[in-house]
Every structure is written in structure tokens, then in C-alpha cells.
């Protein structure tokens, strides 16, 4: 158990970009995915209002940077990522260059839409999931 705790402490010392690279390496090495499992939704009961399912809004979102949009300003996107994620300039640049990557995870719908608007205004291609 001490060995696992030592590894955990080393991971805590890594930057976001380094952890992202570690996850990718682990996925490749062991043939697994770090993505959270997705539950399969049951088919709606006949006569149920399909609009009710569509009206349900997720409680939290992940703001995913897919890259710099066609004709977008990469420098502005890097600055926006830096401000949103609270990173240094070099780390933000690496995130933008290694897109797609999550910029913020488990944020409220309002905050997710606000962050999406800021990133799109800067010239980023963004996805909420």
C-alpha cells in the first residue's frame, strides 16, 4: 500500500498536461479507456412525452477544447485557456496544442455555457459533454 501512496503523491505533483500525457500512455499500454462509463438509456415507454426527456438538463458538464476553429486566433485561445483553467502560459499552450482535451470538468450548466462562449469568442472549437 505504501508503494501506491508514493505513486499517488508523485501524480499529485504533476501538472495538468503531464497527467493528461500519463493517462494517454496508460490507456495505450493497457488497452483501457479512462472515460467514465456511459449508462445506456432505456427506450421511452409508448405514450410517454419525448419532450420530457429532451427537457432534462445535465447537472454538470465538461468543457472540452476540440482545437482552434478555422480562422481562429491561436494566441487568443491560449490566453482564454490560461485564464479559465488557471494555468501558466506554457501549460495552456500545451493544452491547446494537444486538443481535444477537457479544460474544466463537472461545472454547472450556466458556467459551462459561459466558458463555451468565452472560448468561442477567442476562436476555439468547443464541445460541452
Q: Which pLDDT tens digit goes with each residue over 69-125?
A: 888 889 999 999 999 988 899 999 998 998 898 888 888 999 999 999 999 999 999
In the predicted structure, residue 126 carries a pLDDT above the cut 90: yes
In the predicted structure, residue 39 carries a pLDDT above the cut 60: no
More confident residue, 47 or 60: 60
Q: How many CB atoms lie within 10 A of CB 45?
A: 6
pLDDT of residue 58: 73
pLDDT of residue 129: 87
List of residues 6+ apart from 63 with CB closer than 8 A: 84, 102, 103, 104, 105, 107, 112, 115, 116, 119, 126, 128
Q: Please state whether 86 falls in left (phi above 0), alpha (psi between -120 and 50) or beta.
A: left
Q: pTM of the predicted model, to two decimals?
A: 0.56
Residue 107 near residue 115 (C-beta atoms within 8 A): yes
Q: With bands split at pLDDT 50, 70 and 90, how would you rate the model's confidence at 40?
A: very low
Amino acid at each position: 500500500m505504501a508503494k501506491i501512496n508514493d505513486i499517488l503523491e508523485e501524480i499529485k505533483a504533476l501538472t495538468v498536461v503531464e497527467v493528461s500525457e500519463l493517462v494517454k500512455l496508460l490507456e495505450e499500454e493497457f488497452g483501457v479507456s479512462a472515460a467514465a462509463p456511459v449508462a445506456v438509456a432505456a427506450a421511452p415507454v409508448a405514450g410517454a412525452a419525448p419532450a420530457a426527456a429532451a427537457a432534462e438538463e445535465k447537472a454538470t458538464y465538461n468543457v472540452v477544447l476540440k482545437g482552434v476553429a478555422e480562422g481562429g486566433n491561436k494566441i487568443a485561445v491560449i490566453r482564454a485557456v490560461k485564464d479559465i483553467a488557471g494555468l501558466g502560459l506554457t501549460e495552456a499552450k500545451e493544452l491547446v496544442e494537444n486538443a481535444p482535451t477537457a479544460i474544466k470538468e463537472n461545472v454547472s450548466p450556466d458556467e459551462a455555457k459561459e466558458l463555451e462562449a468565452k472560448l468561442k469568442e477567442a476562436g476555439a472549437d468547443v464541445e460541452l459533454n
